[in-house]
Amino acid sequence: AQKVTQAQTEISVVEKEDVTLDCVYETRDTTYYLFWYKQPPSGELVFLIRRNSFDEQNEISGRYSWNFQKSTSSFNFTITASQVVDSAVYFCALSETGANSKLTFGKGITLSVRP
Amino acid sequence: ETGVTQTPRHLVMGMTNKKSLKCEQHLGHNAMYWYKQSAKKPLELMFVYNFKEQTENNSVPSRFSPECPNSSHLFLHLHTLQPEDSALYLCASSQLPPGQGSGSYEQYFGPGTRLTVT
């Protein structure tokens, strides 16, 4: 069975601070996918990144970066120089592969960025 | 319209009412999904449609009845709901190659319908 744990429930930072959102996953598969989604107050989940388990390269996209560590089963997300618009709930998700794969989401982390 | 749209955005209904939620995707995807998001709980996948065929039903009570007339439209028909069904109902779509499960590719979500059952 697959599982995603986001131990942090709420994080509050002041604008321009860096913040890291943790994600730990469990799976028996050797091939799987990891995702991060952002849910702003408007409600829709916004896709941020999809990572294949064979690709352990860290990724940077503007102020966002992701650190994939297979050895610790973690896929952490860092926002550099946070902004008020980053305030949202962030979900990490895992999917195994195959015809029966489906997304398993963590419970989400509520990030508040104060001016 | 772009992306995934959902109507209505808010709905209040009594336990004896019948209502429907509508979802439309403008992304050319072939798979559509219903999720339920309750407070303090992870997102729960309810139904998956691939090429208009229902491929997954995660033990959802029969008071929720999905309908997918084509690959761009998805409905969730509601009847005799309970107060614990109050939640945000999210629709999503993705491109899904044959033989692949729904988790393989990123999904694109609508803004949701906030449902309150009184």
Please report the DSSP string for B68-97 in residue order.
EEETTEEEEEEES--GGG-EEEEEEEE---
Backbone dihedral angles phi then psi of residue A98, each to the nearest 5 degrees:
105, 175
B112 touches chain A (CB under 8 A): yes
A91 touches chain B (CB under 8 A): yes
Residue A23: CB partners within 8 Å, gap ≥ 6? Answer: A4, A5, A6, A34, A36, A74, A75, A76, A77, A92, A106
**How do residues A10-63 score in pLDDT, each as one tens digit?**
999 999 999 999 999 999 988 899 999 999 998 889 999 999 998 888 888 899
Cα–Cα dist B43/B55, whole Å: 18
Listed by number, the residues of chain B in 45-74 with a beta carbon closer than 8 Å to a beta carbon of chain A are 45, 48, 56
B110 touches chain A (CB under 8 A): yes
**How do residues B22-67 score in pLDDT, each as one tens digit?**
999 999 998 999 999 998 788 999 998 887 677 777 789 999 999 9
B49 three-state secondary structure: strand
Cα–Cα dist B46/B64, whole Å: 9
**How do residues A56-90 score in pLDDT, each as one tens digit?**
888 888 999 999 999 999 999 999 999 999 999 99
CA distances from A50 to A53, A58, A93, B76 (A): 10, 12, 9, 28
